[in-house]
Every structure is written in structure tokens, then in C-alpha cells.
Amino acid sequence: MKTDNRPAAKGRPREFCLDGALAAALRIFWSKGYEGASLSDLTQAMGITRPSLYAAFGNKEALFRKALDLYEREKLAYMGEALEAPTSRAVAERLLRGALEMQTSECEPRGCLRVISSVACGAEAESIRAEVIARRASSQQALLDRFERAKAEGDLPAHVEAAGLADYLGALLQGMAVQAGAGASREQLETLVETSLALWPGK
């Protein structure tokens, strides 16, 4: 990994901001999905022309991967932090409240880019789908590891298995994202989170 800040560019310097353009692309992918976002949508939102996009990002698929990186780095940061909470209940609470906060924030698309991009789609997006599913599986594995540690620490009741609980919480978060994408109100999602926490096992 070299530094991407070329200190002395040879020719004419780029006229647009790479990060800003990528952020704009993320918003489009986020609200329309990979296939639903056409190059015309993307270039218009990014404020650049088609050849500029290809020169800067490669192609649509590479652009999506970079946008997905940005999404996970900025919008899913709360997930990594949540795993460091002291108890399994606190982990769940941070994840649920973090998802609530992210998915109901104004001036951002609803739903979760990972969920949107992991549902069925045309053949062209199959590799995208596979990658998103793989990335999600890795997050899920981290959650599972955390709950197995909790189990070993006596932080979970005897009748609850770590594997089941991790998948359960993952399903809850994904379901929340689907409902947010379908237009659920913030109040609805808040009571959903509160109910989930009320039912969470352990103190």
C-alpha cells in the first residue's frame, strides 16, 4: 500500500474530490442498491462525467466495493466498538441502539447497504452479492466469538447457546434494517429495540 497522495502529479490535476465523489456514490448505492443504481444516477450525484468515474474508480463494481469499504468504515464503526462492551447484554444494547441511530438518521438513506445488497438480484450482481454475504459472515463470526467468550465467563444463562444467540441477534438487526428500509417510523424502531432488550436473557 503506497500512499495515495501523489506528492507531485505529472499532468493536469483532478478537478473533483475523490472522497466526496465516493461519498455521493455510497448514498446512491445505499438508496437504490447495486443494480438499481445506474451509471447515470451515479455520475449525476457525484458531479463527474462517465470517463472520469472510470479513470478514478475502475468500473461500477470496483466503485461499489470502495463505497462498501467506506460504508463499513464510517457507518458500521459502532459494531466493532459494541463488541468491546463488558457484558453480552451491553453488546446487544450497543448494537441495537447503534443500528437504530444509524438507520433513522436524517439526511441518509434508510436500511442497511449490506442487507440491500445481499438479497436476490440479477446475474451481473452475483459476485457483489457473494462478497457482501462473506463480509457479513465475518462480522457475524466476531459476534459469535464475543458471545462464546460471554458464555465461558458465565455471562449467559445456562439454557442459552452462544451460536443461537448470535444468529438471533443478527436476524433481529437485519429485520430492523428491512423495516427501516420499508419506511418504519423512528418510534416503531425504538419500541422494537426496547422490546428486544426487555426480552434479552440475563440481567
Task: Provide the binding-site residues for DNA, judged by CB under 7 A.
Answer: 8-16, 35, 37-41, 48-52, 54-56, 59-61
Q: How far apart are CA 113 and CA 29, in angstroms?
A: 8
**Nearest distance in Å: CB 131, a copy of itself:** 12
Is-contact 41 57, C-beta < 8 A?
A: no
Q: Are 201 and 160 in contact (CB under 8 A)?
A: yes
Sequence letter at residue 170: G
* Interface contacts to a copy of itself, rule CB under 8 A: 30-33, 35-36, 38, 109, 111, 115-116, 118-123, 125, 133, 136, 159-161, 163-165, 167-168, 170-176, 178-179, 181-184, 188-189, 191-192, 194-196, 198-201
Q: Which is nearer to DNA, 55 or 163 (CB)?
A: 55
Asked if 109 and 182 touch (Cβ cutoff 8 Å), the reply is no
Say which entry of a copy of itself, DNA, none residue 8 contacts (CB below 5 to 8 A, set by partner kind): DNA
Q: How many CA atoms lie within 13 A of 99 on its CB side?
A: 30
Which set of grid coordinates corresponds to residue 37?
A: 443504481
Nearer to DNA, 42 or 79 (CB): 42
Place of cell 462478497: 131
CB of 182 to a copy of itself, least distance (A): 5
